[in-house]
Amino acid sequence: MQLDISRRSVLTSGLLGAGGAVLLAPPAEAAIPKVKRSVVMDRARFWTSRNVQYDQGATYPGPAGQARYRCDCSGFVSMCLMLPPAGPNTTALAGGTYTFGIAKANLKRGDMLVRSGVHVVLFHKWANAAHTRFWLFEEASPAQDMNHRVADLSAYGGYAARRARNIVNG
């Protein structure tokens, strides 16, 4: 492919860098598909039903079998949310590229609790009317592997509630 770019168009577009080098923007990342909350839960059950073993050096496919994700907490959450394989790490999930912050009281199925550089869990549903206990899915550790369990919200005091930018109701 040959680009027909004149020096004048480069100058007027602001794409000329120091020394006369043409600065081209990197190609746009493939769009991340929208995903329904019900699909996120189905995808969580897919790995849980197979008791995918925790191993940061390994990958495992999502339900369609094509994309592979790291077998750790952030790889699991990324798989559930159909984020790019092998999956953003906890630091990326805690940032603004893939998610945005919400109040813990506003957690809905498919949202997450994440502590940057440490761990992330997928919120399933509230376990009590007071919203002090909740069901979660997680790829926990080499000793525990996949979990679907009830936890106390107070145990996640250092975690931020985040919602994926690509999640939709349904």
37-49 and 73-80 are packed helices; what angle lies between their axes, rounded to 10 degrees? 130
Q: Is domain 35-168 in CATH 3.90.1720.10, yes or no?
A: yes
Residue 108 pLDDT greater than 80, yes or no: yes
Backbone φ and ψ of 57, nearest 5°: -90, 0
Against a cut of 0.75, is the pTM above it?
A: yes
Q: What is the pLDDT of residues 5-50, one digit of tens each?
A: 343 333 333 334 444 443 333 333 458 999 999 999 999 999 999 9
